[in-house]
Amino acid sequence: MYKKPSVARGIKQAYEHLLSANLRNKVPPWLHAMRSTPPADSLVRDPSLFSTHGKLEFENQAIDQSSAAQQTRIKRTLPPGCVSIHHKKAYLRSKSNKPPKIEFPEDRLRKEFYRNHPFERYRPRSLVETTGKNPQTWNRLSDGTSQITGENVIRYQYYLMQTKGMSKQDAYIQATDEFYAIRAREEMNAKIAYQEACFYGAQKLKKPFSAMQLVQEDIEIRKSVGAFEARDEEQRMRETLTEKMFTANE
């Protein structure tokens, strides 16, 4: 990245050139201030002009197709021997300083997957790490130790495209088929766990941490306290009855 030249210094130098060429006779007050205290350099740095496009096969094919389509469009719209000249203000404006766009091969796969599965973005994910390492080689969708998310499908699809030589569509079909099977198994396990919990007396709450839940918990606590008090009272009555029986026999 190179440093952008200072605009204020350019104004000062341009006006000094006008004075030296006798195109201006009057020295403005701000010129003395700029001579005594020159403006600082600009802190804005322009992005370097380098290509960030990948060198993979499907990216090169997309670039070739776009360039061919552009050439075909120009040939169709312009007569032979003519050159396109733009006179609109949009083409006369100077380009703003923007960083080059960085694209990764997985970006297109990610865009397609989340377009077909929008609710996967809102599924909660676990951020707990047991070892701090990522030994996943992506030769399969799940190794059985981590949570299955959309990123697993994207990485697995990219692995099939690069290692197995599969096309984009075939790799997507295989990855999503395995993903659907895992999701179905997780839903089945959740339903079985819910049925077992209901069988052992668990009650489903309408909304977690709601006012109804707090009231229900308070009722359960009072029932428990009442049960303990009733048990203690029964124990005291038995002890009292036993003492009376021994006293009567004596």
The pLDDT, as a whole number, for residue 184 is 93
pLDDT at 249: 64
Confidence of residue 75 (pLDDT cuts 50, 70, 90): very low
Going by C-alpha positions, the residue among 180, 142, 147 that lies closest to residue 159 is 142
106, burial (CB in 10 Å: exposed 0-12, middle 13-18, buried 19+):
middle
Ramachandran region, residue 198 (left: φ > 0; alpha: ψ -120 to 50; beta: rest): alpha
DSSP secondary structure letter of residue 53: -
Higher pLDDT, 97 or 157: 157
Burial of 59 (0-12, 13-18, 19+ CB in 10 A): middle
| Cβ contacts of 105 within 8 Å, gap of 6 or more | 54, 56, 58, 59, 158
User: Taking all residues of the chain, what is their mean pLDDT, rounded to a whole number?
Assistant: 76
Q: Is the pLDDT of residue 73 over 60?
A: no
pLDDT digits (tens, 9 = 90+) for 158-176: 999 988 889 999 999 999 9
For 149, other C-beta atoms within 10 Å of its C-beta total 15
Q: Which helix (H) or strand (E) holds 185?
A: helix 168-199
Cα(157)–Cα(173) distance, integer angstroms? 9
Which residue has 């026999």 as its token pair? Answer: 249
For the segment 37-62, what is each residue's pLDDT rounded down to a tens digit? 887 776 665 555 555 555 556 556 66
Q: Of the candidates 48, 42, 51, 43, which has an alpha carbon nearest to the alpha carbon of residue 2?
A: 48
The tokens of 153 are what?
């499908």
pLDDT at 177: 93
Which pLDDT tens digit goes with each residue over 178-234?
A: 999 999 999 999 999 989 988 888 777 666 566 777 777 788 888 888 888 888 888
Radius of gyration from C-alpha coordinates of the chain = 38
Identify any residues that bridge with 45 across adjacent strands, giving them in sequence order. 3
Cα separation, 180 vs 223, in Å, equals: 45
pLDDT above 70: residue 248: no
- Rounded Cα distance between 191 and 183, Å, is 12
Using DSSP, state whether 21 is helix, strand or coil.
Answer: coil
Given a cut of 90, whether residue 12 has pLDDT beyond it is no
pLDDT, tens only, 14-34: 888 888 888 888 888 888 888
CA neighbours within 13 Å on the CB side: how many for 225? 6
d(CA 9, CA 41): 8
User: Residue 178 and residue 143: Cα distance in Å, rounded?
Assistant: 13
In Å, the largest CA–CA distance within the chain is 137
Helix (H) or strand (E) holding 207: none
